[in-house]
Every structure is written in structure tokens, then in C-alpha cells.
Amino acid sequence: MGNATSGRHSEWSVGGQQLAKPSRYDLEVADAVAEIDRCKSLFLTEIFEAGHNSLRVLIQEGLPVGGATPFMVGGTVISGATRIDVTSESRAFEVLWENYVAYSIRNESFVRVDHDEIYDGIRFRVYSKSNFIDYVARATFASNEYPGPTQHHELICEDHIIDVIALTAPRARRLR
């Protein structure tokens, strides 16, 4: 296997086929995204424009608090449920999109599931087919020609669903 440094990636070849070796930075982002995706529960802590058309999202892991206690919903007692909340043991993450085309925040109580959508991931999803992609295509003039190919990312939180169409994958890092 050959190795020559070029920019952020080292070029590797296997059987004559060139492969890009991820940089340490790429691996740290991939690790943070994988860690976010493995969380059983997430809460949106903060979302704001970090600069001109850049979006910063802070999320924290939700963890079980206390034991199972019954609670009432619409006149029905539900037993065996454990409260989920952010604790001092919760992991915290920052996700930053440097240049977005569009983003949306929905109340998770009103989100409709569409089985025709295609994505990878659980809590941190990357879509190849979605209603949000279709909406942005109709509502903007963003295309593969200008500003270039885009990506649809989605963060699934307990109270919010955050959808972002951007030119590049976000930077992600664990804060604690």
C-alpha cells in the first residue's frame, strides 16, 4: 500500500485503485457523528446562526432519571415509564454547518413518518430521498449546477426534529 500526502487526505492505493485515507480531523468528525447516532435520546439545547448562513446546533444526551413511575396521559395511566432528562452524566455535542441552503425545526409531536424516504442513521440521519429535499428543490433555485450538490442531514431529538440542507457535511464534536 503506497502513501503520499496531499492536502487534507493521504492518497492510498490498493490493487492499483486509489483510495483517500481520512485525515485525523475527518475521523474525529466521523467519531462524533457515530457517537451522536448511538445516543438513545437527544435534547436540543441551543440553535443559532453562527455566521452568515452557518448554523450551530448544541445537543445533549438524554439519560434515564430515577425509577419507573406511572403517569397520566389523556385519562389513561401509563406504568413502567422512566423519565428521560439531561443530567451531569449526559454527553454534549456541537454540530456546525458552515454553509446551509435551508433548515427547518419541527415539533416532533407533529412529524409525519413517510416510508418512501431513504436515509442512513438513527439519531443523526443522512437522506438520499426526502420530502425536505423535494421542498427545497421547489422553494429555491439551489441545484447541482449552483451552488453544487447538497446533502440533507437530520437530527432526531426528543422534542425537535432539525433538518438541514447544506453544501457539505457538518463539523461535529463532543463537548463533554
Residue 102 falls inside a structural domain: yes
Residue 124 falls inside a structural domain: yes
Residues 6+ apart with CB under 8 A from 77: 70, 71
pLDDT of residue 73: 86
Residue 108 falls inside a structural domain: yes
Overall number of domains in the chain: 1
Domain that holds residue 48: 17-174
Residue 8 falls inside a structural domain: no
Residues 6+ apart with CB under 8 A from 86: 43, 45, 60, 61, 62, 63
Residue 136 falls inside a structural domain: yes
Q: Exposed, middle or buried by CB within 10 Å (0-12, 13-18, 19+), for 36?
A: buried
Q: Which residues pair with 9 in a beta bridge?
A: 6
Residue 2 falls inside a structural domain: no
Count of residues for the chain? 176
Residue 5 falls inside a structural domain: no
Residue 37 falls inside a structural domain: yes
pLDDT of residue 114: 95
Is the separation of the CB atoms in 170 and 162 below 8 Å? no
pLDDT of residue 50: 87
- The pLDDT tens digits for 3-51 are 333 333 334 444 455 445 445 556 677 889 999 999 999 999 999 998 8
Q: Percentage of residues in the chain with pLDDT exceeding 90?
A: 70
Q: Which of 22-26, 80-84, 141-145 has the lowest mean pLDDT?
A: 22-26
pLDDT greater at residue 1 or residue 24:
24
